Structure 1
Amino acid sequence: MDFPPNQGLDQDEVDEHVEETLAENEVVLFMKGTELMPQCGYSRNALGLISEHRDEFETVDVLDSLAEYRAALEAHSGWETIPQTFVDGEFVGGSDILSELEERGELEETLNAA
């Protein structure tokens, strides 16, 4: 069985998509997989934590262009790991940071400050 090479987006397309998504949405989760099928435990955890406090937020599946999304997101956050959560265009953190905010009782306020 042959697998075609990555048919994802090029770096300019990903950069533009990240910029537009951050500008147009209050809360954004860049994750591996989709809301219905998260593809890693960290993405699943972040999705669950955000879902507890927000009904509406945007998710972006980065898997088709993972290297390009890592580069584009690192330019905004200084982090290359995924998932990444942004509120009003500002980087909040990944799954570990969301968990810490939840433990301190600060996640709901952080996500709804938008």
Structure 2
Amino acid sequence: MAQPKVEIYTKMFCGYCARAKALLDAKGVDYTEYDVTMGGPERRAMLERKPDAVTVPQIFIDDVAIGGSDDLAALDRAGKLDALLGL
């Protein structure tokens, strides 16, 4: 099973972003990170994908919005994250 495409929108000095990336790193998952600290096209792309996004990180797995760090951790605690990640 191929690993799904994982994308995460982050900002510098964001503890929640660091926590989400650490969880993905611990699972050995490759992901694409978009830094939206200064706004720009990456932030516009994030808002096009998830118009109600007001916080970072915003995490997408195979183009499905998962939510933020707490949502990612909740999926992991519920035993659902590994399946989403193809692990």
TM-score, with structure 1 as normaliser: 0.61
Asked if 2 retains the 8 angstrom alpha-carbon contact of 1:46 and 1:95, the reply is yes
Structure 1, unmatched stretches of 5+, are 1-24, 34-38
Q: Aligned residue pairs: how many?
A: 83
Structure 2, unmatched stretches of 5+, are none
Identity over aligned pairs, percent: 30
- Equivalence for 2:9: 30
Which protein shows a greater Rg? 1
Asked if 2 retains the 8 angstrom alpha-carbon contact of 1:54 and 1:112, the reply is no
Task: Please identify which structure carries the higher helix content.
Answer: 1
1:31 Cα deviation (Å)? 0.8
Residue-by-residue CA offset, 1:4-47 (whole Å, 9 max, x unaligned): xxxxxxxxxxxxxxxxxxxxx811011113xxxxx111001110
Asked if 2 retains the 8 angstrom alpha-carbon contact of 1:54 and 1:111, the reply is no
- Equivalence for 2:35: 61
1:60 Cα deviation (Å)? 1.2
AA at the equivalent of 2:81:
L
Between the two structures, name the one with larger relative contact order (CA 8 Å, sep ≥ 6): 2
| Distance (whole Å) between structure 1 residues aligned to residue 61 and residue 30 of structure 2 | 12
Query: RMSD of the alignment, in Å?
Result: 2.3
Task: Please identify which structure carries the higher strand content.
Answer: 2
- Equivalence for 1:21: none
